[in-house]
Amino acid sequence: MGTMRGNWRGLGILSALSLAGAAGACKTVSPDELDVSLAALRDEITQQMRSGDQAVSQQLGGRIGTVEQRTAALETDLGQLEQDFEVTITRLENQLRFDVPVYFAFNDATVEKEDQALLDRFRAVAQEYYPQALITVEGFTDPAGSAEFNMALGLRRAGAVREYLVGTGVTADRIRAISYGEDTKRLVAPTGTGPGMAGWENRRVVLVIDHDGQAPAMPTIADDATE
């Protein structure tokens, strides 16, 4: 009975690992909160070992170590993305939001060549750590023109970025394009409007990874089967 109980408790802890870092529906998740979750799991392992469930405890200990390493690798890559391309990343329970410096000319939806390196790096991070997650490209405009026109223009911009990412390897059915047009609550520069260079800060996209609170995916490891 003791072994069976230990196995069920072990499965419960393994399930909890996928929720490590989760704290609230729209709450920013900090490394400290993740550390608290992992500390609680370590305490559970200690209790398991004291009760004689050493095999389960060793399995859980290895799993926690892997999750910690994977999370640390993700944070390193996100930090490098922020540093190299001046990206602002907001970490939420269910999302990673990337405010990227990808801008567009007035009344235009062309992805500039100079922005491709940034998009390539974003794609690499998304594919490496959240290969099954939904990616959303949000398109925005400045206030010039009608709201209807700008909603369509924002969608063209988001669609152009989506098309580029699909062309570099993102599966088409896991990336979508939406538009907020000239939404006044989302304008970076409320008084900035075209034509010309004025209002360029508003002619942009935001990239979102909806990961549903899942821990970063484990790297693919080849089987050790004999040839």
Q: Do 107 and 64 fall within a single domain? A: no
Q: What does the pLDDT read at residue 44?
A: 75
96 and 184, same domain (yes or no): yes
Domain housing 161: 86-210
The CATH number of the domain where 199 resides is what?
Answer: 3.30.1330.60
| The pLDDT of residue 21 | 42
Last residue of a domain, one of 48, 74, 100: 74
pLDDT on residue 49: 63
Q: Do 107 and 182 have their domain in common?
A: yes
Per-residue model confidence as pLDDT tens digits over 154-179:
999 999 999 999 999 999 999 999 99
List the 204-210 sheet strands across, edge first.
88-91, 95-103, 204-210, 134-140, 175-181
Residues 24 and 128 in one domain: no
Q: Residue ranges of the chain with pLDDT lower than 70?
A: 1-37, 48-65, 219-227
Q: What pLDDT, on the 0 to 100 scale, is given for residue 212?
A: 85
Beta strands in the chain (DSSP E): 88-91, 95-103, 134-140, 175-181, 204-210
What's the pTM value of the predicted model, to 2 decimals? 0.71
How far is residue 140's CA from residue 151's CA, in Å, rounded to a whole number?
Answer: 8
Is 221 domain-assigned? no
Assess contact for 48 and 56: CB atoms under 8 A: yes
Q: Domain boundary residue among 21, 41, 74?
A: 74
Give CA 156 to chain center in angstroms. Answer: 23
Q: Is residue 193 domain-shared with residue 99, that is, in the same domain?
A: yes
The domain boundary residue, chosen from 74, 104, 131: 74
pLDDT at 217: 79
| Residues 21-41: tens digit of each pLDDT | 444 444 555 566 666 667 777
Give the per-residue pLDDT at 196.
86
CB-based contact 8:2 (threshold 8 Å)? no
Q: Say if residues 37 and 185 touch (Cβ distance below 8 Å).
A: no
